Structure 1
Amino acid sequence: MASGSKTVVYAALAGNSLIAVMKFVVASITGSSAMFSEGVHSVVDSGNQILLLFGMKRATRKADEKHPFGYGMELYFYTFVVAILIFAVGSGISIYEGIHSIGDPQPVQSPEWSYGVLILAMIFEGGAWWIAFREFQKTRGDQSVLSAVRNSKDPTVFTILFEDSAAMLGLMIAFIGILCSQIFNLPILDGIASICIGVVLALVAVLLAIEAKGLLIGEGASPEVVAGIRELVSTDKRITGLNEILTMHMGPQDILLAASVDFDDSLTADKVEQAITDFERVIKEKFPDVKRIFIEAQSWRQHHATAIAAGEMSSQRPPDGK
């Protein structure tokens, strides 16, 4: 697992743990629903970061007989659990607290405490957000933010980035809600702010769940990696056609590759074996994230006939056939 990902998680955990204590202390002093919701938010975020660290550790376990491809996808599972917790606990409690406050509105006591803690929280959260964003930028390249998130295979960085973005937005909502409730003497606005924080958390949870689901059910390598592998294999004179390339991420830096190759019929068995060995070495040198490679020697006619029988393609010759 990349050390940068762990740095992002540790930074977020340290900030959220400290902020959670301050928020709950001030919530007990002021009676603010928005501040209480923010305290719950920070506790949920801290728990999420512990889960991500646990998932990162579990994902590094070596393959065994029961899990021959390793445990890398456990990280994706814990990312999905994080999304559920944000939705069920963070969003649910915030919305419930907001509804309860609207039903029985109480003026915020000593709001200056809330303002002070919210400003400090913005500073801490802003620092954690910047660390996550800087790490995210390293892998983003020329992609848009949305495309980079969709194409990312390491959920830790964008999970923390989403959480910290929601935290910053939640802090601003809480600040505005408490301030407006004081200025207009409408305690109900504090409860409305709590509900708004819950809605923000729900939206973040849905986005994370969608991304985690895609990773859990198996996402292929990036188009650049697939194109590079295709070029390495198909330009070799020892083959007459590249029938199929299948890839799947078993973890952020663990790609499984399966390829069906039509070798020149004049090659002996020894030369075919040497060609496969050469392909594996070259592919792993250029794409170190490709950890497991399975190359099948099969004529394009046999491969195509099998695919047609399975209803996977039309009867015309595949474009890679020579």
Structure 2
Amino acid sequence: MSAGGGTKAIVAALAANLGIAVTKFLAFVLTGSSSMLAEAIHSVADSGNQGLLLLGGRRSTRKATPQHPFGYGRERYIYAFIVSIILFSVGGLFALYEAWHKWQERHGIDEWQWVPVTVLVIAIVLESFSLRTAVRESNMVRGKASWVRFVRRAKAPELPVVLLEDTGALLGLVFALFGVSMTLATGEGRWDAVGTAMIGLLLVTIAVILAIETKSLLLGEGASPENVRTIEKSLVGDGIDRVIHMKTLRLGPEELLVAAKIAVTPNATAEEVARAIDGAEARVREAVPIARVIYLEPDIYSASAAATDTSATTETAEAPH
């Protein structure tokens, strides 16, 4: 997934949310609507989140250092995880608290009654444009995958985060419009509280989804099954008989580490082994360009040794943490 596409979607969402936040706060000041306050805080949280995603993308491009020899690619995952926490606390929990507070007071909207509806309709239009940008950029990289699979399997966090945020923002605006409209129609302020609670539950749900998916990336995911098969196929040939065992690890959205024990031709000279390893690395990088860090250990294949290696790998994977 290109960083450029993600950056374009983030900037579009940031611009929309900053403008929307100002108008929502103005509408809250004029009307006292809790739905408008919850939506204003939601837009502020989203703006901060998009700023964090941009910061994470920039910091992840730093060069490797002796202290961090594999670079800073995972920093994008860290900032995406922080986004989920902010969305949960600042957005979701605040909206739920405001809904409870409004339910206790239950006052209606007595002044400037046209303001919240106007603001929400305008915000829906602006948010729709932001979501359209995110959808268009995502379509360029998701291929034939469903939207659920794209969000769950994407290794670059920016587009899935923006997609979920924009979708949540659009649904939140609809919930706010429902609460405000029912309050204006009935004069009952608790409808406003209902709309606010719906916004809070929506944001908490999205935040939990983001946290779960980003946590998996932070812990370290391997290559996709398709890439694993391609790498194994590319390693074999020109002096390499088979792959005894292999492990992969995502160092970042566009960087993959490959570590494998390979069976070289018996009685091969050191020069021939070195030439075979160089050729295998070149084939892997050509087939899977994100495989940038490759470590290959040459060995002579034997069924008993391969079984021992496989058993050790399995025990390590199944050991409790």
- Look up the equivalent residue of 1:245 and give its one-letter code: M
- Look up the equivalent residue of 1:182 and give its one-letter code: L
Relative distance call for 1:67 and 1:114 in structure 2 (3 A) is same
240-249 vs 69-78, which deviates more? 240-249
275-284 vs 236-245, which deviates more? 236-245
4+ aligned runs moved over 6 Å, structure 1: none
The answer to whether structure 1 residue 214 and structure 2 residue 239 are counterparts is no
Aligned residue for 1:9?
Answer: 10
- Look up the equivalent residue of 1:308 and give its one-letter code: S
Aligned residue for 1:253?
Answer: 254
Relative distance call for 1:308 and 1:299 in structure 2 (3 A) is farther
Relative distance call for 1:22 and 1:283 in structure 2 (3 A) is same
Relative distance call for 1:35 and 1:311 in structure 2 (3 A) is closer
64-73 vs 138-147, which deviates more? 138-147
- Look up the equivalent residue of 1:155 and give its one-letter code: P
1:299: Cα distance to partner?
A: 2.9
Which of 190, 203, 206 is the equivalent residue of 1:204?
206
- Look up the equivalent residue of 2:221 and give its one-letter code: E
Relative distance call for 1:58 and 1:124 in structure 2 (3 A) is same
1:53-132 equivalence runs, <5 A: 53-108=54-109, 109-132=111-134
The answer to whether structure 1 residue 224 and structure 2 residue 226 are counterparts is yes
1:59: Cα distance to partner?
A: 0.6
- Look up the equivalent residue of 1:148 and give its one-letter code: F
Aligned residue for 1:316?
Answer: none
Q: Which runs of 5+ in 2 are unaligned?
A: 317-321
Distance in 1 (alpha carbons) for counterparts of 2:188 and 2:112: 15
1:285: Cα distance to partner?
A: 2.1
What does the per-residue CA deviation read over 1:269-302, in whole Å, with 9 as the maximum and x for residues that have no partner? Answer: 1011011111111211222211100111123333
137-146 vs 21-30, which deviates more? 137-146
Judge conservation of contact 2:264–2:299 (CA < 8 Å) in 1: yes
- Look up the equivalent residue of 2:29 and give its one-letter code: S
1:264-303 equivalence runs, <5 A: 264-301=265-302, 302-303=305-306
Judge conservation of contact 1:111–1:178 (CA < 8 Å) in 2: no
Judge conservation of contact 1:13–1:50 (CA < 8 Å) in 2: yes
What does the per-residue CA deviation read over 1:233-253, in whole Å, with 9 as the maximum and x for residues that have no partner? Answer: 23x152222111211111110
Distance in 1 (alpha carbons) for counterparts of 2:138 and 2:282: 30
1:309: Cα distance to partner?
A: 5.3
Q: TM-score, normalised by structure 1?
A: 0.93
1:155-234 equivalence runs, <5 A: 155-234=157-236
1:263: Cα distance to partner?
A: 0.6
Give the fraction of aligned pairs with identical amino acids, expressed as a percent: 38
Distance in 2 (alpha carbons) for counterparts of 1:191 and 1:152: 36
> How many residues are paired up?
312
Aligned residue for 2:244?
Answer: 243
Q: Which runs of 5+ in 1 are unaligned?
A: 314-322
Distance in 2 (alpha carbons) for counterparts of 1:299 and 1:110: 81
- Look up the equivalent residue of 1:224 and give its one-letter code: E
304-313 vs 200-209, which deviates more? 304-313
What does the per-residue CA deviation read over 1:91-123, in whole Å, with 9 as the maximum and x for residues that have no partner? Answer: 111111111011001111322111111111111
SS of alignment partner, residue 19 of structure 2? helix
SS of alignment partner, residue 14 of structure 1? helix
Aligned residue for 2:319?
Answer: none
Aligned residue for 1:136?
Answer: 138
Relative distance call for 1:62 and 1:47 in structure 2 (3 A) is same
Q: TM-score, normalised by structure 2?
A: 0.94
1:189: Cα distance to partner?
A: 0.5
SS of alignment partner, residue 107 of structure 1? coil
What is the root-mean-square deviation of aligned Cα atoms in Å?
A: 1.4
SS of alignment partner, residue 261 of structure 2? strand
